[in-house]
């Protein structure tokens, strides 16, 4: 099968190109940055270039985007040109060339302020039914791009699957207070309870989405590690998370104590992947329990593909307050 991967020099893009090539597919990698995984250097907003890339393509994996850490370093117009106009150019080309599956990498960040319950109230149980309230231009443009995908499915019959991925980046947290309080591996392990997913599982979700696109036609799915929490835990999570984690993951405290780690005091949201597992046939491997077993064996778990891709960062410069110019 011939596929197009946009953002092929990026974290997820490279992982997809590596995996798809290894599986024997013909992969066209498109990115504005040259890389060993980029066949074509250029912008997703370039209509002629994109149409040339789309010839003979059966599936598109659209991962190219400006991210949240770019909010201060790039203009709102930059975000619109890349995240909205670029997606439109790709959708038009996919329609024109009869592409069978268009998989769009979205983000749970687009939910925005819908994920912030007031202190002392229950944590948010985040399913696909939650209505987004974007809090920055990143969320606004990803929401708009999702709407374009839906439009092209309804008007033109293009099979589009939207994957709202939770955190899978290896870089440090964009919140300085959290960086200062928690060891980076500690914070990431905690997040596997409610808002993180391993790169290998993100890749497998994209491939599953492409395989099911013709059957489903259209769908939006949250891609995050399977949580051990239940809806009955929500009030306790946002007031005393430690007690709930001890209930759902007995024995975690012993492992954490040996490492000098600590659990978050409160957890304000829980991403739920039930729909993705049911509709896409997706079986994520990495969750909090997998992490605990690896930690008991003396190593921090990272998938092979994550180790190969490594850390790329979001900017070419360093900032005084840390890896990002915004918190």
Residue 304 has pLDDT above 70, yes or no: yes
Contacts of 110-113 spanning 24+ positions with Cβ under 8 A: 110/134, 110/138, 110/139, 110/142, 110/143, 110/146, 110/164, 111/139, 111/164, 112/136, 112/139
Per-residue confidence band for 114, with pLDDT thresholds at 50, 70 and 90: very high
Residue reference for tokens 């011939």: 2
Band (pLDDT 50/70/90 cuts) for residue 286 is very high
Residue 320 has pLDDT above 70, yes or no: no
| Band of pLDDT at residue 147, cut at 50, 70 and 90 | very high
Whether the per-residue pLDDT at 68 is higher than 80: the answer is no
Instruction: Over range 84-100, report the average pLDDT.
Output: 98
Output the pLDDT for position 71: 67
Residue 317 pLDDT more than 60?
no
User: For position 327, what pLDDT does the model report?
Assistant: 47
Give mean pLDDT, residues 59-76. Answer: 82
Confidence check: pLDDT of 240 > 70: yes
Q: Which residue has the higher pLDDT, 120 or 144?
A: 144
Strands (E), the chain: 2-6, 26-31, 40-41, 59-62, 101-107, 124-126, 160-165, 218-223, 269-271
Q: What is the pLDDT of residue 171?
A: 80
Q: Which domains does the chain have, with CATH numbers?
A: 2-175+195-227+270-285 (3.40.50.720)
Tell me the mean pLDDT in the region 236-258: 96
Q: How confident is the model over 92-105, as a mean pLDDT?
A: 98
State how far the Cα of 155 lies from the Cα of 82, in Å rounded to an integer: 23
Average pLDDT, the chain: 93
Please name the helix (run of DSSP H) or strand (run of DSSP E) that holds residue 233, with its range, or none. Answer: none
Across 282-287, average pLDDT: 97
Mean pLDDT of 144-155: 98
Using one digit for the tens of pLDDT, what is the confidence trace for 199-232? Answer: 999 999 999 999 999 999 999 999 999 999 999 9
Distance CA 103, CA 213 (A): 8
- Kindly tell me if the per-residue pLDDT of 269 is higher than 60: yes
Q: How confident is the model at residue 325 (pLDDT cuts 50, 70, 90)?
A: low
Determine the 3-state secondary structure of 76 from DSSP. helix
Given this model, what pLDDT does residue 319 score?
52
Prediction pTM value: 0.94
Task: Provide the percentage of residues in the chain whose pLDDT is more than 70.
Answer: 93
Residue 326 has a pLDDT of: 53
Query: How large is the average pLDDT for residues 97-107?
Result: 98
């Amino acid at each position: 099968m011939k596929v197009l991967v946009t953002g092929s020099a990026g974290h997820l893009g490279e992982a997809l190109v590596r995996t798809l090539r290894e599986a024997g597919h013909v992969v066209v990698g498109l990115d504005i940055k040259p890389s060993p995984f980029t066949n074509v250097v250029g912008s997703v907003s370039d209509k002629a270039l994109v149409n040339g890339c789309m010839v003979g393509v059966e599936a598109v994996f659209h991962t190219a985007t400006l991210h949240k850490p770019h909010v201060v370093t790039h203009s709102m117009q930059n975000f619109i040109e890349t995240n909205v106009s670029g997606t439109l150019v790709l959708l038009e080309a996919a329609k024109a060339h009869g592409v069978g599956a268009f998989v769009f990498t979205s983000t749970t960040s687009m939910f925005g302020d819908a994920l912030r319950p007031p202190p002392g109230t229950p944590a948010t149980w985040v399913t696909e039914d939650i209505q987004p309230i974007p809090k920055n231009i990143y969320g606004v443009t990803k929401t708009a791009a999702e709407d374009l995908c839906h439009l092209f499915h309804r008007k033109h019959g293009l099979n589009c699957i939207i994957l709202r991925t939770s955190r899978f980046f290896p870089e440090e947290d964009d919140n300085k207070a959290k960086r200062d309080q928690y060891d980076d591996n500690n914070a990431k392990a905690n997040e596997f309870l409610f808002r993180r997913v391993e790169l290998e599982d993100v890749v497998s979700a994209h491939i599953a989405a492409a395989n099911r696109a013709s059957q489903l036609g259209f769908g939006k799915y949250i891609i995050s590690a399977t949580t051990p929490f239940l809806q009955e835990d929500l009030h306790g999570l946002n007031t005393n998370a430690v007690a709930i984690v001890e209930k759902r993951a007995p024995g975690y405290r012993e492992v954490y104590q040996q490492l000098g780690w600590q659990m978050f005091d409160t957890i304000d949201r829980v991403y739920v992947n039930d729909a993705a597992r049911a509709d896409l046939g997706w079986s994520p491997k990495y969750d909090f329990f997998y992490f605990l077993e690896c930690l008991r064996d003396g190593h921090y778990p990272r998938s092979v593909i994550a180790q190969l891709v490594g850390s790329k960062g979001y900017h070419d410069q360093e900032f005084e307050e840390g890896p990002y110019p915004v918190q």
